[in-house]
């Protein structure tokens, strides 16, 4: 049943649309106008409650909305026109869908009578996005517009969050109706299990009490649920070590002695060892994806498994679990707290600490810059007090390994889809969501060029993003796989790129460059000191590899640690006396 407010007057669909967003408390829209949505943009011209950010591409608009949602916890909003406007949002929508990010994407559509007639700038965006949205709508009657918008925000932000698309035909936007905005929404077929079942909670508590080698395996759902505080209290009370997924970074402070960093394909050696030898694995807001599990038959083979997740379809989908608990992570951890007590993990933690000493995160340092060194220096200079917005590739994994995350919503990246070009536009949304700490966008020379047009958006709005470009002249992760598994047959991975310092100047931005290790800290200090946006390029070792590494589809037993002879081709002859391992401990 829907309750309506008493404020009513005759409005056009475009006016109803804008008024509905005001009622929802929307602060910012990321979008790009076009013929079908001109009426909305005309109404927006007179609205002061909502800021509109004109991106330079619709994909950039969706990633910006994602960045806003990831950094704030509030839904991101995008508005685009019909046809190519809608289809250009598809990658961003899929990205949000796989990472469970709350978005409401509004697309223009041709008039109802022209749908299916191959009209100018017509595309079946509802059909196209059905597999990659939590739900989507085609509005057929202006009288339904306000209630559909209310429902769209409700669906996007409740339960397991996700993107919702609302398609707006041109004639619906120009038609008129009384404005009646719902105060609340109740959907019969959308039942949300927030509390965990008491018997399952008690079963979990029994397993926890008996465990000798427990591990908390924490995913992005913990952050989405705003459950980081509950998780931290739970881990410290029970004395259970914590490992996180890529999207779970920041859910638990990595300076804590219980932190194991990230697990999975490029996780730490000791986190993967702990999971492999655990007798109890507690999965919290995670989904046992392939980058974590590798070969399913060999994943944590001797452990009992507890799985907490709000989405019942995630439970036992990939890995069979012993105690499933369906519910909101925050609420379930609150329910579990009084049922558990500290367990004796002293010997287990000593074993893990021995692994940390034997197999630390490390890299070889010399005159030429290592990407790991750049990330480590950013972590040191900011003391972890920054929102790090990562693109996709090798630097993404090094950011996961060598930046010490202390707070939730400070590590934003494309996890499930792995979308190159994510970082630059996403940092725009992050910067508009938060002004309490620096926003640092880190991209490779490949990813930065995929949405580089958004530099114009940053300059036009004077958004104080610090843009870090890790330039190795390669599509680095593809090249690494070609080196390790394809006999160094480097096919279509060498990149040309513009002079990024000159490019910065062309956009009116300060630009800096470091080519050698002893220049890195100075350049970082300069770029971080800028009050507005700025760019810093780091020319790094060309053929550095990300380690540890569990090859795709393999098990923990096939993990590749840092080889003793890893070096840049030609660097050994130039700098043999300066090459030395640098070990890194987060926090």
Within a domain: 442: yes
- Same domain assignment for residues 507 and 414: yes
What's the CA gap between 75 and 91, in Å, rounded?
A: 18
User: ∠ at Cα 83 (79, 84), nearest 5°?
Assistant: 80
Q: pLDDT-based confidence at 580, cuts 50/70/90? A: low
Instruction: Mark out the alpha helices in 9-168 (DSSP H runs).
Output: 13-23, 38-44, 58-72, 84-87, 90-99, 125-129, 145-157
Q: What is the CATH classification number for the domain harbouring 543?
A: 3.40.50.970
Cis before 548? omega within 30: yes
β-strand 411-412 against 387-390: which pairing, if any?
Answer: parallel
Q: Which residues contact 83 (CB under 8 A, 6 or more apart)?
A: 34, 120, 121, 122, 123
Within a domain: 193: no
For residue 335 the two structure tokens come to 């329910």
The answer, yes or no, to whether residue 496 has pLDDT greater than 50, is yes
Q: pLDDT-based confidence at 2, cuts 50/70/90? A: very low
The string of pLDDT tens digits covering residues 18-36 is 999 999 999 999 999 999 9
- Same domain assignment for residues 391 and 540: yes
What's the CA gap between 432 and 423, in Å, rounded?
A: 14
Which of 356, 376, 408 is the C-terminal boundary of a domain? 356
pTM of this structure: 0.95
Q: What number is the average pLDDT over the span 308-330?
A: 95
The string of pLDDT tens digits covering residues 501-542 is 999 999 999 999 999 999 999 999 999 999 999 999 999 999
Q: What is the CATH classification number for the domain harbouring 211?
A: 3.40.50.1220
- Same domain assignment for residues 373 and 341: no
Within a domain: 446: yes
- What are the residue numbers of the active site? 58, 120-121, 170, 477
Within a domain: 191: no
Range of the domain at 570: 361-584
The string of pLDDT tens digits covering residues 179-191 is 999 998 888 888 8
- Same domain assignment for residues 122 and 203: no
What pLDDT score does 190 carry? 85
Within a domain: 190: no
- Same domain assignment for residues 205 and 132: no
Q: pLDDT-based confidence at 556, cuts 50/70/90? A: confident
How many CB atoms neighbour CB 324 within 10 A? Answer: 21
Within a domain: 45: yes
What's the CA gap between 195 and 333, in Å, rounded?
A: 10
- The CA-atom distances, in angstroms, between 346 and each of 233, 241, 276, 370, 560 are 18, 11, 18, 36, 28
Cβ(559)–Cβ(546) below 8 Å: no
- Same domain assignment for residues 413 and 324: no
Backbone angles phi, psi at 378, to 5 degrees: -60, -45
- Same domain assignment for residues 297 and 446: no
What pLDDT score does 5 carry? 47
- Same domain assignment for residues 239 and 166: no
Which of 160, 184, 208 is the C-terminal boundary of a domain? 184
- Same domain assignment for residues 53 and 162: yes
Average pLDDT, the chain: 94
Q: Which residues contact 361 (CB under 8 A, 6 or more apart)?
A: 261, 268, 401, 402, 583, 584, 585
What's the CA gap between 291 and 433, in Å, rounded?
A: 30
Q: What number is the average pLDDT over the span 74-98?
A: 98
Our count of domains for the chain comes to: 3
* DSSP conformation class of 45: T
What's the CA gap between 573 and 30, in Å, rounded?
A: 51
What pLDDT score does 342 carry? 97
The answer, yes or no, to whether residue 236 has pLDDT greater than 90, is yes
Instruction: Mark out the alpha helices in 393-474 (DSSP H runs).
Output: 394-402, 423-433, 454-461
- Same domain assignment for residues 379 and 471: yes
The answer, yes or no, to whether residue 3 has pLDDT greater than 70, is no
What's the CA gap between 294 and 553, in Å, rounded?
A: 5
- Same domain assignment for residues 378 and 525: yes
- Same domain assignment for residues 566 and 451: yes
Which range among 221-235, 331-345, 503-517, 562-576 shows the weakest confidence by mean pLDDT? 562-576
What's the CA gap between 19 and 7, in Å, rounded?
A: 11
Within a domain: 168: yes
* DSSP conformation class of 143: G
Which of 309, 324, 356 is the C-terminal boundary of a domain? 356
In the chain, % of residues over pLDDT 70: 95
């Amino acid at each position: 049943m829907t309750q309506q407010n008493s404020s009513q007057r005759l409005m056009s669909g475009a006016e109803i649309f804008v008024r509905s967003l005001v009622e929802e408390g929307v602060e910012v829209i990321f979008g790009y106008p076009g013929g079908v949505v001109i009426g909305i943009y005309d109404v927006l011209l007179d609205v002061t409650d909502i800021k509109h950010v004109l991106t330079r591409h619709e994909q950039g608009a969706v990633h910006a909305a994602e960045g806003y949602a990831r950094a704030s916890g509030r839904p991101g909003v995008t508005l685009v026109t019909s046809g190519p406007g809608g289809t250009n949002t598809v990658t961003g929508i899929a990205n949000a869908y796989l990472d469970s990010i709350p978005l409401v994407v509004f697309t223009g559509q041709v008039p109802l009578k022209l749908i299916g007639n191959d009209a100018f700038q017509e595309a079946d965006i509802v059909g196209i996005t059905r597999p990659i949205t939590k739900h989507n709508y085609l509005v057929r009657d202006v009288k339904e517009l306000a209630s559909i918008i209310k429902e769209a925000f409700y669906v996007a932000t409740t339960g397991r969050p996700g993107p919702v698309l609302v398609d707006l035909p041109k004639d619906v936007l120009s038609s008129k109706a009384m404005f009646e905005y719902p105060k609340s929404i109740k959907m019969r077929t959308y039942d949300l299990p927030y509390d965990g079942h008491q018997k399952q909670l008690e079963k979990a508590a029994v397993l926890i009490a008996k465990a000798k080698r427990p591990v908390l395996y924490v995913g992005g759902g913990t952050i989405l649920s705003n459950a980081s505080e509950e998780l931290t209290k739970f881990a410290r009370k029970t004395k259970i070590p914590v490992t996180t997924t890529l999207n779970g970074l920041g859910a638990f402070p990595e300076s804590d002695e219980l932190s194991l960093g990230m697990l999975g394909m490029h996780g730490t050696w000791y986190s993967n060892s702990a999971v492999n030898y655990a007798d109890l694995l507690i999965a919290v807001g995670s989904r046992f994806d392939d980058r974590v599990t590798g070969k399913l038959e060999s994943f944590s083979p001797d452990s009992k498994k507890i799985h907490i997740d709000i989405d019942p379809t995630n439970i036992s989908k990939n890995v069979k679990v012993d105690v499933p608990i369906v519910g909101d992570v925050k609420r379930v951890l609150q329910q579990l707290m009084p049922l558990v007590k500290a367990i004796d993990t002293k010997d287990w933690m000593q074993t893990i600490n021995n692994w940390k000493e034997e197999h630390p995160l490390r890299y070889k340092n010399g005159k030429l810059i290592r990407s790991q060194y750049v990330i480590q220096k950013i972590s040191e200079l900011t003391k972890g007090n920054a929102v790090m917005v990562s693109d996709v590739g090798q630097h993404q994994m090094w950011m996961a390994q060598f930046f010490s995350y202390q707070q939730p919503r400070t590590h934003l990246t494309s996890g499930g889809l792995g979308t190159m070009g994510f970082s630059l536009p996403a940092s725009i949304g992050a910067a508009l969501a938060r002004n309490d700490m620096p926003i640092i966008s880190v991209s490779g020379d490949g990813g930065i060029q995929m949405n580089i047009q958004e530099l114009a958006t940053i300059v036009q709005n004077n958004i104080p993003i610090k843009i870090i470009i890790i330039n190795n002249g390669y599509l680095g992760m593809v090249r690494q796989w070609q080196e390790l598994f394809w006999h160094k047959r480097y096919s279509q991975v060498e990149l040309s790129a513009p002079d990024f310092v000159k490019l910065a100047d062309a956009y009116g931005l300060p630009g800096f460059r470091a080519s050698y290790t002893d220049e890195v800290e100075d350049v970082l200090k300069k770029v971080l000191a800028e009050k507005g946006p700025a760019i810093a390029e780091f020319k790094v070792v060309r053929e550095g590899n990300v380690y540890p590494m569990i090859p795709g589809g393999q098990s923990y037993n096939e993990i590749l640690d840092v080889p003793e002879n890893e070096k840049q081709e030609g660097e050994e002859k130039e700098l043999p006396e300066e090459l030395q391992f640098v070990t890194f401990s987060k926090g």
